[in-house]
Amino acid sequence: MMTMAFLSSSYREELTFPEGFGWGAATAAYQVEGGWDADGKGPNVWDTFTHQGGDRVFRNQTADVACGSYTLWGEDLKCIKQLGLTHYRFSLSWSRLLPDGTTGFINQKGIDYYNKMIDDLLANGVIPVVTLYHFDLPQHLEDQGGWKTGAIVEVFDAYAQFCFGTFGDRVKLWITINEPNTLALLAYDKGIFAPGVPNPGNRAYQTAHNMIKAHAKAWHSYDSLFRKKQNGQVSMSLFSPWVEPADPTSAADQEAAKGIMALALDLFAKPIFIDGDYPAVLKSQVAAMSKKQGYPSSRLPEFTEEEKRMIKGSADFFAIQYYTACLAKHQEYSEGELNILKDINTEVFPDPSWKVSQPGSWISVTPWSIRKLLKYIKDLYNNPVIYITENGFPQGDPAPLDDTQRWEYIRQTIQELYKVTAIHLDKVSLQLYCVWSLLDNFEWTQGYSSRFGLYKIDFEDSALPQVPYKSAMEYAKVIQSNGVKRPL
């Protein structure tokens, strides 16, 4: 009944997507679940980071309670059904399942929670897309060196095998690691995300290296031990901006734009989708800069031949997360400055003429750019099947329920995706689009000040009620008709 009332306003579909196109929404465990120490869950790096305070997160907020999804899953499910989602992407809290990160101790309550989510989704015809790890490394593993050490590769693989074995009879779409590129930059290079220790110019490469190997190992475990029986697909989701040269007539700025795409996306995608190795341009530039700085070898580690063979081809689809475009400009830096952007002599910034989603936001309103990014992936990565596992637009707090500006961004994005998938236009094999996010939630360092949800949450009310924004109602119509309205 609720769904019918929700869809009752008249809607005329004009741009129809290919049959079977997936329409989803995404969340992540730490951002929505709360229950940070409930029922035997172990602490993760974000629990520690937020509990330490120190003004690294807006108003020192934490996700101890967040949207309360650990106890209010039934309410989340109502939103999912009201929207009519075909897919729901969520992540497993590693330390809820394995409190110290290892399979030495398994928390049955954690298994029960995710079993219920998965079973409820399937009972309602919604396909679960499950991320194994979305920024919330178990604290115990961090204490042992975390992503900085090669030992994590085996530990992650054991966790992945445990999840495939426990949930893989029903989960057919897996993401191993969410945005390893964001994590490498924000957590380990800049140190503004948990665990919060900056180490510019070194740690991003070191942790990226281990994350790529961990992903590839888990993919091979799925391939050899589970695929035949479970018949699912496994990939890693990568963040990417779309980068344009600041001065399109400048050859140096054109190279700078390519350099940022290489650093942000190709550093991960080329090894996995092409040949097991990093882009040559980055290898040579980081090696040259490292040499000038007196390092005995490049700060960008090398894969062995055996590792290259393991990494090459270790993904069943291309999962991309896209928010915004930016400009790149060539900028010469002295070798005294250690920073991964400086390794490629580039500066990035938004075009001042672009609107921003909310004051101070890193997201410029550039829905046109998603088409360019998807064509880039199609051309460079041999026309893979692509899933957009996140795309969204934040509002400030208080966020109006009539979020017309935001819906216009999402609507225009979907209109671009129509061109991307259209058989008479780009013919990109795009099969799924997920909005970030189902619910307003804990937006990392911005706490609850940045609202990405299709549903508004009143975090001041202990019942944590969920109310649809206008975008939710409009998105439901798109899903219902498998298409989007062209503007008049």
CB of 106 to ligand GAL, least distance (A): 26
CB of 123 to ligand GAL, least distance (A): 27
Interface of this chain with ligand GAL, residues 237 to 276, rule: CB under 6 A: 239
Q: Which is nearer to ligand GAL, 307 or 390 (CB)?
A: 390
179 contacts ligand GAL (rule: CB under 6 A):
yes
Stretch that binds ligand GAL, among 1-9, 177-185, 310-318, 404-412 (CB under 6 A): 177-185
List, as one string, the DSSP characters of 98-126: STTSSTTS--HHHHHHHHHHHHHHHHTT-
Confirm if 194 and 251 have CB atoms less than 8 A apart: no
Interface of this chain with ligand GAL, residues 387 to 406, rule: CB under 6 A: 390
Binding mask 25-44 for ligand GAL (x = CB under 6 A): ---x--x-------------
CA dihedral 273→274→275→277, nearest 10 degrees, is -70
Interface of this chain with ligand GAL, residues 315 to 374, rule: CB under 6 A: 321
Count of CB atoms situated within 10 Å of the CB of 8: 9
CB of 428 to ligand GAL, least distance (A): 22
416 contacts ligand GAL (rule: CB under 6 A):
no
Q: Which is nearer to ligand GAL, 25 or 28 (CB)?
A: 28
Q: Which is nearer to ligand GAL, 59 or 228 (CB)?
A: 59
CA distance 327 to 369: 12
Stretch that binds ligand GAL, among 2-10, 178-186, 262-270, 325-333 (CB under 6 A): 178-186
Q: Which is nearer to ligand GAL, 316 or 390 (CB)?
A: 390
Confirm if 132 and 234 have CB atoms less than 8 A apart: no
CB of 446 to ligand GAL, least distance (A): 8
Token digits for 306? 């055996």
Interface of this chain with ligand GAL, residues 90 to 149, rule: CB under 6 A: none
CB of 384 to ligand GAL, least distance (A): 20
By DSSP bridging, strand 87-91 and strand 127-133 are parallel
Residues, the chain: 488
Stretch that binds ligand GAL, among 61-69, 174-182, 246-254, 280-288 (CB under 6 A): 174-182
CB of 135 to ligand GAL, least distance (A): 7
CA distance 209 to 109: 33
Among 418, 469, 464, CA closest to 441 = 464
Among 61, 144, 182, 449, binds ligand GAL (CB under 6 A): 182
Q: What type of residue is 441?
A: N
For 25-64, letters b (16+ CB in 10 Å) and e give bbbbbbbbbbbbeeeebbbbbbbebbeeeeeebbeebbbe
Among 452, 455, 459, 469, binds ligand GAL (CB under 6 A): 452
Among 301, 237, 313, 305, CA closest to 275 = 313
CB of 333 to ligand GAL, least distance (A): 26
For residue 474, CA distances in Å to 20, 61, 256 come to: 19, 31, 39
469 contacts ligand GAL (rule: CB under 6 A):
no
Confirm if 3 and 412 have CB atoms less than 8 A apart: no
Residue ranges in 12-55 assigned as alpha helix (H): 29-32, 45-51
Q: Which is nearer to ligand GAL, 136 or 253 (CB)?
A: 136
Among 413, 443, 451, 456, binds ligand GAL (CB under 6 A): 443
436 contacts ligand GAL (rule: CB under 6 A):
yes
Among 287, 274, 176, 276, CA closest to 232 = 176
Whether the link from the prior residue into 398 is cis, omega within 30° of 0, is yes
53 contacts: CB under 8 Å, gap ≥ 6: 60
CB of 293 to ligand GAL, least distance (A): 30
Stretch that binds ligand GAL, among 54-62, 337-345, 436-444, 463-471 (CB under 6 A): 436-444
CA distance 360 to 445: 13
Q: Which is nearer to ligand GAL, 120 or 443 (CB)?
A: 443
Distance between the two ends of the chain, CA-based, in angstroms?
31
Stretch that binds ligand GAL, among 148-156, 167-175, 176-184, 263-271 (CB under 6 A): 176-184
444 contacts ligand GAL (rule: CB under 6 A):
yes
CA distance 277 to 285: 15
CA distance 305 to 177: 23
Instruction: Tell me which residues are annotated as active site.
Output: 179, 390
Binding site for ligand GAL (CB under 6 A): 28, 31, 178-179, 182, 239, 321, 390, 436, 443-444, 452
